[in-house]
Structure 1
Amino acid sequence: MRFALSAEQTGFATSLGDLLSTLDTDAANRAWAAGDPAPGLKIWRRLADLGVTALAVPEAFGGLAAEVADLVVACEVLGEYCVPGPWTDTVAVAPALLGDERLTPLATGETLASVLFAPHVPYALDAEVAEIRLAVDGARLRSFTPGAALSSLDGSRRLSPGTPGADLGPAHDAGRAFELGVLATAAQLLGAGRWLLDASVTYAGQRRQYGREIGRYQAIKHLLADVVTALELARPLLYGAAVTMAPEDVSAAKVACGEAALLAARTGLQVHGAIGYTAEHPLGLRLARVRALVSAWGTAELHRRRVLETVAR
C-alpha cells in the first residue's frame, strides 16, 4: 500500500498556494488584528470558491464530503500563508458538530463559525465575525454570547470568553469534532513551519557577513538541516493521523508539528537576526501564529498525556 498524497490532493494544494501567493495575506492579518476583517473576508470568499469551506460538509448540504487528508492539505496551506479567520472552527469542527441545514451556508463560505469546546478551548476565536456560535456542553450544543476581547499572542486571533445561551440540540459527533480541531491546528503549524524554513533558507542565501553569504557557514547549515528533519518527521505523523483519526495519533501529530514549528521559529529568528523582531517583517506574523497555535486545541502537555495513556495500556 502506498501512503502518499494523490495527484488530486497535491494539485489542490498547488492551486491554493497559487491563489494565496497573489493575495496580500500579511496585510489582511494586520487589518484583522486592527478590527477590520474586510480584507480577510475577501480572501475567505476566494478560498470558498475553490471549495475549502465545503470540504468536510456532507453532499446533502452542498459540501464535498472530502477525506480528512484533503482537509489537512488545505489547512497546511492556510498555515503557510498565515490566512486570518476561524478556519479550524468553520471548516473542521462545526461540520462535525452539526448535521442539518445550518451546514449549507458554511459550505458556501457565506457563514463563519466560532466554537467553545471546554475545557481545552475555553475562549472563542473571532466570534464577532461568526454567525454560528457553538458551545459544546457535553453531548449538547448551546449558543453563546462573546464577551470583551482578550489580549492574544497573535493579534489576528481575536479571542473572547463566551456566556452560554440557548440549547441548540445534540452535538452530531463531539469526539470527532475535537480530533478534527486538533488535526487542523497541527496542519497549520506544519504549514507555518514550512514557510519559516523557506524564508530562512532564502535569507541565508542573501545576507552577507565577512564577505560571504551566511548560508555558506556550516553552523547555519546545521541549524536549517535540523528544521528540515523536524518538519519531515512531523509530516507523516500528521497525514497518518488523518487516515486513522485515532486520538493518540492525532495527539502525536499535534506535538510533533508544534515542536517542529517552534524550532523553525527559533531558527528563523537566529538566521534573520534583529530584523525578525520587527512588526513590519512577515516573519513576526508567523512567529506569533506559531506561539498561539502550539497551545490551541489542547496544550502539548495534554497531547503527550493522551499518547502516554495509550502506550501504558
Structure 2
Amino acid sequence: MKFELTSDQRDFMSALDGQIAAADPVAANRAWGEGDTKPGEALWERIAEVGVSGLLIAEEDGGLGATPVELVCAFEILGRHAVPGPWIESAAYLATALTGPERTAIADGAVATVAVPPHTPYAVDADVAGERYFVADGALKQADLGDAVSSVDPTRRLFSVTAGAAVDHGDLDAAFDLAVLAASAELLGAGERVLDDAVTYVKQRTQFGRTIGSYQAIKHQLANVRIALDFARPLIYGAAMNPTPRAVSAAKIQSAEAANIAARVGLQVHGAIGYTAEYDLSRWLLRIRALQTAWGTPAFHRERVLASLLASPSSLSPSK
C-alpha cells in the first residue's frame, strides 16, 4: 500500500511550520527552560489558533474533528521546532480522554497536563497548566500541584501531583496510545531537525583545508541517520491510520531509536560545540533524550509488541 499525505495535510504542515518559525521558537524554548514561560505561552496561543489543540476533538465540541494522521503531522512540526509546553498531554491524551466542558476548554486552547503512572509518573509543566489531571485506579482525576522534580530536559519541567476528585472520561487506553503516537511524531521531527542542522554544519566546518562534510566517514554517518528516520516515518504514519497498541508501540520503538541515532551523530559531527548549552543543538538533544522514555520506555513497548505477536500466532507464520 502506498501512503502519501493529501494536499490539505501538506498545506496544514506548511502553515503550522510558518506560524511557529515566525515566533522564534528556539528563544521561547530557552526562556521556558530558564523559568520565563511568557514567550512559550504566547507561542501556545499562536499554535492553538491554527487548531492543533483541538485536532482530535469533534466539531460539535469546538475542535476540528481531524484524524490521528493530522495529529502526527502537527507533532512532527512541533518536534522540529522544539516547542515547549505540555502539548502531548493536552492535544493528544486529554483531548481524547476528557469529555464535556473540560474537553471543549482543551479545544479552545487551555493549557492542561496529566500524569499517567507508571509510564508518565509526573505531570509536565504542571505549574503553567490551568488544569491538572492524574490517572489512578483506572480513572481520570483532578490533581493538585506537588513538588518539582529534576528533568533531563529543562523545557519539560516535571512535577509530582496528587489525585483529587474523579472526572468523567472516555477511553484512557486509546488516549494513552494517541499520546505515544504524538511523542513518536515529535521524536521524528526532532531527529529531522538535528539531521538538517548537522548537514548544514558539515558543509561549513573546515578541517585540513576541506569541509568535513566531504569526508566519506561523515557522509556514511549522516546517511545512517537518514535511513533510520526514513524507516521510522512509515511506522508512525501507518500507526496513525490504524492506531492499534502493537502499531503504536512499534512506531515509538523505531522513532526513539532513529532520533537517538540522529542525536548521537549530530553531536559527533558538531564536536565540542555540540555539548554547550549556549548552542541551539542542545535544545533538540535534550528533548530527544527526554522523549525516548516518556509515555513508555523502549523496553515496555518492545514487551507490548511481543505480547501482541504471541497472542496472534498467525502473525508469526510465513505467508504462503
1:292 counterpart residue number: 290
Name the CA distance, whole Å, in 2 between partners of 1:66 and 1:167: 28
2:70 counterpart residue number: 70
Name the CA distance, whole Å, in 2 between partners of 1:2 and 1:274: 42
Deviation of 1:310 after TM superposition, in Å, equals 1.4
TM-score (norm 2): 0.95
Deviates more, 1:27-36 or 1:60-69: 27-36
* DSSP 3-state at the match of 1:258: helix
Is the 2:69–2:237 Cα contact (8 Å) retained in structure 1?
yes
* DSSP 3-state at the match of 1:160: strand
Name the CA distance, whole Å, in 2 between partners of 1:284 and 1:2: 36
**Number of aligned residues:** 311
1:205 counterpart residue number: 203
Deviation of 1:138 after TM superposition, in Å, equals 3.8
* DSSP 3-state at the match of 1:279: coil
1:282 counterpart residue number: 280
Deviation of 1:151 after TM superposition, in Å, equals 0.9
Matches within 5 A, 1:241-280: 241-280=239-278
2:37 counterpart residue number: 37
Name the CA distance, whole Å, in 1 between partners of 2:222 and 2:65: 38
Deviates more, 1:203-212 or 1:14-23: 14-23
2:166 counterpart residue number: 167
Name the CA distance, whole Å, in 1 between partners of 2:102 and 2:156: 24
1:27 counterpart residue number: 27
Task: Extract unaligned runs of 5+ from structure 2.
Answer: 312-320
1:156 counterpart residue number: 155
Name the CA distance, whole Å, in 1 between partners of 2:212 and 2:2: 39
Q: Deviations over 1:126-153 (max 9, x none)?
A: 1111122111224422111121111110
Name the CA distance, whole Å, in 2 between partners of 1:303 and 1:21: 33
Deviation of 1:161 after TM superposition, in Å, equals 1.0
Matches within 5 A, 1:43-122: 43-109=43-109, 111-122=110-121
Name the CA distance, whole Å, in 2 between partners of 1:56 and 1:15: 18
Identity %: 49
Deviation of 1:227 after TM superposition, in Å, equals 0.1
Residue type of the partner of 1:290?
Answer: I
Deviation of 1:172 after TM superposition, in Å, equals 0.8
Residue type of the partner of 1:39?
Answer: P
Deviation of 1:262 after TM superposition, in Å, equals 0.5
Name the CA distance, whole Å, in 2 between partners of 1:78 and 1:21: 10
2:13 counterpart residue number: 13
Deviation of 1:311 after TM superposition, in Å, equals 1.7
2:139 counterpart residue number: 140
Deviation of 1:285 after TM superposition, in Å, equals 0.8
1:131 counterpart residue number: 130
Name the CA distance, whole Å, in 2 between partners of 1:141 and 1:208: 55
RMSD: 1.0
Name the CA distance, whole Å, in 1 between partners of 2:19 and 2:271: 30
Is the 2:54–2:95 Cα contact (8 Å) retained in structure 1?
no
Deviation of 1:208 after TM superposition, in Å, equals 0.4
Name the CA distance, whole Å, in 1 between partners of 2:276 and 2:130: 35
Residue type of the partner of 1:125?
Answer: V
Of 296, 301, 304, 1:303 maps to 301
Deviation of 1:241 after TM superposition, in Å, equals 0.5
Deviation of 1:50 after TM superposition, in Å, equals 1.1
1:234 counterpart residue number: 232
Of 178, 187, 190, 1:189 maps to 187
Name the CA distance, whole Å, in 2 between partners of 1:193 and 1:102: 33
